[in-house]
Chains A and B, each alone.
Chain A
């Protein structure tokens, strides 16, 4: 039988058995509306509060600072739009972010620009890591919020969150981080790191899709993004997704129980794959080799186009992703790869593999054995590679 290797954990993850077990009662017999007065509803209400505490504990936050949302993108929208609209009344209409944020942040910022806000997109440098000093230098008296991702979704680079948090706190500017890729993969302490708002998403941690969290530090009150009933203490309307909330609580508990252990297990796997892939002629690693998520591999193979690489990997049973234009749904390749200085030509040939809790040593072997011959085959039929070899295209 053909081996199946799921190496796209940064895109989404499988719901784990423990999480599904925790959820099932709330999909079946515990279906009551948590807002109801009777026991069936109260039980669901208690389950939500129990999950809230688990999420809070995992971040060193307080339960009353945790708000369940529909997804990571909603959390990002709420944090940035909410802050912008609230502080605009005080004349603060400037936002600081980076050039390589997830679209949930970038497109939110662009939408605010149309409303008259000014956005500074900090350049990220060739390693894909920003310098906290860049943030300090960009903060102005009218800066409403600094929003910087904890770890990049494509190249896995980890940003100096604690340093940025300290700077923002000292300057009295709210600091939001999109930690969708980081939660469960790096230790997070919102108090010590001076994080005012943090977004996370369930489906990256073996919880279901369609459940997210926004942590909002006590003392900050944002205008609602979703108005309606009094759920989430009146700040996020909509009947609670009880089973998914419970699942997320359990997933956070598991994911954050032994982060050093996860890092210790995945880092050697990651580095073995990177080492093997960099033996392919002209391959280059995208993003800092050390300051990156333990499961993230992002390598470019010039002369090869990413989507055909992914399809070829799929034929070998390997699920991965790419920053090529063909897979981004637009004419341009990944904005992340362009932000770290890759040319369009090289960005088209990128491959992201993201390892996770279920990745085995055999999976690693299968990846290492499968990728180089695929690159060789695609290059053999690539006129771009031919031009490169003849020196007609210089990258």
Chain B
């Protein structure tokens, strides 16, 4: 598996690992059977993500994309965080092997899932804002 130095760096010393006890939104995607679970915790104030943390069960790419995605949304407005694409995460990591692209999709979905949870806690239906957070295609059929 040819990982970029950036991926290896984020794997060896991932940023934002952990939980946020009083998180305003928590999202979890993936499943143990597939070998990937990402859980993301967000602290949100005045529409801005002031803190983000994650816990991930998965391969090197899953951990590195979680680290990078949380870095990218910290300090961002919800609006900008919703625009975070898996492709942007991949580019920020200087690329991922083709078989690992689904890990970046999972990271994007983890952010969206946590934001959906945030809206639900506010009594707002997240679907029109966040859209449907779909399970990764790789998991279909298992």
Q: Interface of A with B (CB < 8 Å)?
A: 303-308, 311, 315, 324-327, 329, 331, 333, 343-345, 348, 381-387, 393
Contact = CB atoms under 8 A, between A and B. Distances in A.
Interface in B118-142: 138, 142
Interface in B1-45: 1, 8, 11-12, 14, 17-18, 28, 32-39
A383 B18 CA distance: 10
Interface in B21-71: 28, 32-39, 54-63
B33 A308 contact: no
A311 B56 contact: no
A381 B17 contact: yes
Nearest to A345: B32
Contacts of A326: 35, 58-61
Given A307-B1, A315-B12, A331-B142, A381 B56 contact: yes
B35 A383 contact: no
Contact of B37 (A325, A331, A383): A383
B32 A308 contact: no
A157 B39 CA distance: 38
Interface of B: 1, 8, 11-12, 14, 17-18, 28, 32-39, 54-63, 99, 138, 142
B7 to A, nearest CB: 9
Nearest to A386: B55
A305 B36 contact: yes
B120 to A, nearest CB: 19
17 contacts: A305-B35, A305-B58, A308-B11, A308-B60, A308-B62, A311-B60, A326-B58, A326-B60, A327-B1, A331-B34, A348-B32, A381-B56, A381-B63, A383-B38, A383-B56, A387-B32, A393-B32
B59 A329 contact: no
Given A333-B35, A345-B32, A385 B57 contact: yes
Contacts of A304: 57
A interface secondary structure, majority: helix
B28 to A, nearest CB: 6
Contacts of A306: 59
A29 B14 CA distance: 54
B57 A303 contact: yes
Contacts of A383: 28, 37-39, 55-57
A344 B60 CA distance: 18
B32 A311 contact: no
Contacts of A381: 14, 17-18, 54-56, 63
Contacts of B63: 308, 381
Nearest to A329: B99
Contact of B35 (A311, A348, A387, A393): A348
A30 to B, nearest CB: 37
A370 to B, nearest CB: 14
B32 A384 contact: yes
Given A381-B14, A381-B54, 18 more contacts: A304-B57, A308-B11, A308-B63, A311-B60, A325-B35, A326-B58, A331-B34, A344-B33, A344-B34, A348-B35, A381-B55, A381-B56, A382-B37, A382-B55, A383-B28, A383-B55, A383-B56, A385-B57
